[in-house]
Structure 1
Amino acid sequence: MSARGYFERLLSVYVSEQQRLDELDAAIGDGDHGTTMLRGLKASEKADANKQAKAFMRASGGASGTLFGLILHEIELHLNGSDKSLAFHLNRALDRIKVLGKAEPGDKSMVDALEPAVTTLDAGRGINAAVAAAAEGRDATRDMAARRGRARYVENAGARHLDPGATSVCLILQALADAEEQP
């Protein structure tokens, strides 16, 4: 599948997931994660080829727009025929996210889903196994107390709530797995 097809698929996913993501974010943040992601993906739909992730970043704005844009940029490169592996690209995104977001596993963030997915890809286990690893990381955020971001300031530092960023990582990777299964 082309990057354009992937972004179209991802837009469709976020149209149906926007409200759920906003609700997850309302419990520990400002309640607009789904809305922000959808705004960025709608802008990516109108962008030129090879510029969809950048359009996403500009339209979604803020820190999360940049951090999720890094993942989408690397996926875009992969789908547009890069000679590097998906693991290479997502490792590069993960490294940048950890530096820019100052996040590590256990902080209750997108890193808790992305890092196990990347580790799984590095082990050669494929995208479906990476999606499963990301889902385990996402689910683990429910019991974590946030050490980064707005969630630190809510009751119990957001414990008992899934992290919306980790949830989005799962959606992004699942859409990629679905795209890669297409002929």
Structure 2
Amino acid sequence: MTAAILDTAALGTAEGRAALIAAVAAVVIAAADELTALDQAIGDGDHGANMKRGFAAVAEAAPTLAEKPWPDLLKGVGTTLVMKVGGASGPLYGTLFMELGKHLGTAPDRAALTEAFGRAIEAVKARGKAEPGQKTMLDVLIPAHAALAAGADAATVKAEAFAAADRTVPMLATRGRASFLGERSIGHMDPGSRSSSLIIAALADALSAG
């Protein structure tokens, strides 16, 4: 049976929403050392610690956030990430989640998620003044959205997110801290793309229903 992208029965309860938040946060926190190593190669080396701090705060707030309707829940996640993550990633991830909340509505379905995700990506593009192909988180967000819009199941969206992160390895960074390295940025995975792929994969896993 094709995996659904939204298990609406589970997401209709505060317990289900809290479990979703906790599951995503756990994946990011567990990957902190990996993200740090990636960022040490082409960035400031703080992406793992920053993301761990931000998502630990999100996990702590999960029971309270889960009581809220989706727009307020996602706004709360985004606001927490802006305050706790810091650096360039905090505003970008904060924008992503806050814009999702702004456009998703209180009773999301696949069509609403696809529309909201697309709008959120446009907001991230504007906030970061970036385009796809510049070795940023957009190089995962945009392909994952394309897969979702094409009707892919959750497993396919997850696989595309991971594959998209892999595709940043041979890219030349032309935005962000990595761009200062010029051609030395080639051969390394973009840390923001990796963290984006992990978040999308965790959401796909948590939101899938056989």
TM over 0.5: yes
- Show CA shifts across 1:97-122 (max 9, x none): 11111111110000111101111111
Q: CA deviation at 1:157?
A: 4.3
| 1:182 positional shift | 5.6
Question: 2:32 — aligned with what?
Answer: 18
Cα distance, 1:80 vs. partner?
6.1
Taking the TM superposition and a 5 Å limit, the aligned residue runs for 1:80-119 are 81-82=107-108, 85-119=112-146
Q: Who is 2:191 aligned against?
A: 164
Q: Is the 8 A contact 1:27 1:161 kept in 2?
A: yes
What whole-Å deviation, never above 9, does each CA across 1:33-55 have from its counterpart, x for those lacking one? 11111111111123331223321
Q: In structure 2, do the counterparts of structure 1 residues 140 and 85 end up closer, same or farther at CA, with 3 Å as the change threshold?
A: same
Q: Which secondary structure state, in structure 1, belongs to the residue aligned with residue 31 of structure 2? A: helix
**Matched residues, percent identical?**
37
Q: Confirm whether residue 148 of structure 1 aligns to residue 170 of structure 2.
A: no
Describe how 1:46-61 pairs up with structure 2 within 5 A: 46-47=60-61, 48-49=64-65, 50=73, 51-61=76-86
Q: TM-score, normalised by structure 2?
A: 0.78
User: Does the CA contact (< 8 Å) of 2:140 and 2:164 recur in 1?
Assistant: yes
Distance 1:75 1:179 in 2: 17
Q: CA RMSD in A?
A: 2.2
The aligned residue for residue 158 of structure 2 is 131
SS at match of 1:128: helix
Over 4 Å off, 4+ runs = 74-80
Q: In structure 2, what residue type is equivalent to 1:71? A: L
How many pairs does the alignment contain?
Answer: 183
Q: Which residue of 2 aligns with 1:64?
A: 89
Q: Could you list the runs of 5+ residues in structure 2 that have no partner in the other structure?
A: 1-10, 66-72
Superposed CA offset, 1:137-170 (max 9, x none):
2111100110101101126241000001111111
Question: Contact between 1:110 and 1:163, CA under 8 Å: does it hold in 2?
Answer: yes
Change in 2 beyond 3 A, CA 1:96/1:141 = same
Aligned to 1:105, what secondary structure does the other structure show?
coil
In structure 1, list runs of 5 or more residues that go unmatched. Answer: none
The answer to whether residue 46 in structure 2 is matched with residue 32 in structure 1 is yes
Higher relative contact order (CA 8 A, sep 6+): 2
How much does 1:76 deviate? 6.2
